[in-house]
Amino acid sequence: MIEVSGLKKSYKLSKRQLAMIADRQARQKVKIAVSDLSFTVRPGTIFGLLGPNGAGKTTTLRCISTLLKPTDGKVLVMGIDAEESPEKVRASIAFLTNDLKLDKHFTPLDTLRFFADLHRVPKALAEERADVLFEYFDITPFKDKKIGELSQGMMQKVAIAVSLIHDPPVVIFDEPTNGLDIITARKVTDYLKMLRDQGKTIIISTHIMTVAEKLCDEIAVILNGSLAAAGTVASLLEQTGQKDLDDAFFEIYRAENGGVS
């Protein structure tokens, strides 16, 4: 279970960052990335954060995974306060984002073993899980090659396997299918569905409507750091009177930006 209530995250911009904003009048020292965001992700569901680039999706996921401290509001993961006990929260999540990379010097097997150690997974169990994950994501033939020698898609699959080695109850994936070919992307979404069926709490961010439509049980549309709409795909279609999520999203976007699309 993930409970986010009144989440706010703002940054003070440095002089250099301010100088990079072309419009002088738009220059403000504090940038609000996320403002008053609340939602709940229940076990056994896949929750999607949908929004354009810069909407605040990644910031929200980083706050849940304790890498960022919220400016205001509360984040509870499996009932644990993310600010009070960040280590406990990190023990119960799998976090995958493009910013987190694996050391290219090591092999997938080395890397999995190392992260299993850090998550205190017993050795025999870690080996067993590594085998299953490698087999599922077709990594087995490459498990002893250096990560630096693998293709981008294979690296992404290794990163997914690494994030799941401790079999956590909560899975947080930021743009999980980004940069993957259609077959690999399908493997990843199928795996997420399987994890959902196992009762895990899953939250993903995406700007790809088809991924959200096919994968997510519930969706939160985030625009400019705020929650613009939330609900199941069906309820969003009903709210906006559209036939597919793509059009529904644009309807929400138009309404939020005063009719400008």
Partner 1 sequence: MSQALKSIIRRELKRIFTDRRMVITLFLIPALSIGVIYSVMGYLSMNFIKDVEAHVSSYVISDAPDSFKTFLAQNAELTEGVEVTYVSGETVDTYAPLIKEGSLDMFARFNDDFDSRIESVESASVYTYYNYGEDYSEASFHHFVNDMLDTYRNGILADRFENPNAIKVFDVEDLSETAETVNEDKASGKILSTIIPMLISIFLFAGAMSVVMDSIAGEKERGTLATLLVTPVKREAIAIGKMISHAIIATLSALSSIAGMLLTLGILMLLMPNEVSIGVSFGYSALDILYLIGLIVMLVGIYVGIISLLSAVSKNVKEAGTYMTPVYMLIMVVSFLNMYAFNAEPLWKYAIPIYGQIVGLKEIFMYQITPIKFFVALANAAVTWTVLVLWIRNLFNNEKVIFTSS
Q: Is 118 in the site for partner 1 (CB under 8 A)?
A: yes
Q: Indicate the DSSP class of residue 229.
A: E
Q: Which stretch binds partner 1 (CB under 8 A): 42-50, 67-75, 129-137, 233-241?
A: 67-75
Q: Quick check: 56 and 223 in contact, CB under 8 A?
A: no
DSSP string, 68-135: S--SEEEEEETTEETTT-HHHHHHTEEEE-TT----TTS-HHHHHHHHHHHTT--HHHHHHHHHHHHH
By CB under 8 A, tell whether 99 contacts partner 1. yes
CB closer to partner 1 out of 90 and 187: 90
CB 103 → partner 1: shortest distance, Å?
5
Query: Is the CB of 65 or the CB of 240 nearer to partner 1?
Result: 65
Query: What order of strands is seen across the sheet that includes strand 30-41?
Result: 30-41, 2-12, 72-77, 80-81
The least CB distance from residue 112 to partner 1, in Å, is 12
On whether the CB atoms of residues 107 and 143 are closer than 8 A, the answer is yes
Residue with Cβ nearer partner 1 (62 or 187): 62
Q: Smallest distance, Å, CB 191 to partner 1?
A: 20
Q: Does 145 bind partner 1 (CB under 8 A)?
A: no
Number of residues that bind partner 1 (CB under 8 A): 28
Is residue 201 close enough to count as binding partner 1 by CB under 8 A? no
Q: Is 8 in the site for partner 1 (CB under 8 A)?
A: no
- How near is the Cβ of 123 to partner 1 at its closest, in Å? 10
Let me know: does 138 contact 150? Beta carbons within 8 Å: no
Instruction: Between 69 and 214, name the residue whose CB sits nearer to partner 1.
Output: 69
| Position among 115, 142, 191, 249 found at the interface with partner 1 (CB under 8 A) | 115
- Least separation in angstroms between CB 87 and partner 1: 5
The 10 Å CB-count burial string (b at 16+, else e) for 171-210 is bbbbbbbbebeeebbebbbebbeebbeeebbbbbbbbebe
The stretch near partner 1 (CB under 8 A) out of 83-91, 131-139, 177-185, 243-251 is: 83-91
What crossing angle do the helices spanning 123-136 and 152-163 adopt, rounded to 10°? 140
Q: Should residue 75 be labelled a site residue for partner 1 when binding is judged by CB under 8 A?
A: no
Q: What string of DSSP letters covers 176-215?
A: TTTT--HHHHHHHHHHHHHHHHTT-EEEEEES-HHHHHHH
Among 11, 136, 250, 253, binds partner 1 (CB under 8 A): 11
Does residue 18 interact with partner 1 by CB under 8 A? Answer: no
Q: Which of 88, 145, 193, 207 binds partner 1 (CB under 8 A)?
A: 88
* Residue from 58, 121, 113, 62 nearest 91 by CA: 121
Residues in contact with partner 1 by the rule CB under 8 A:
11, 62, 65-69, 87-88, 90-91, 95, 99-106, 110, 114-115, 117-120, 162
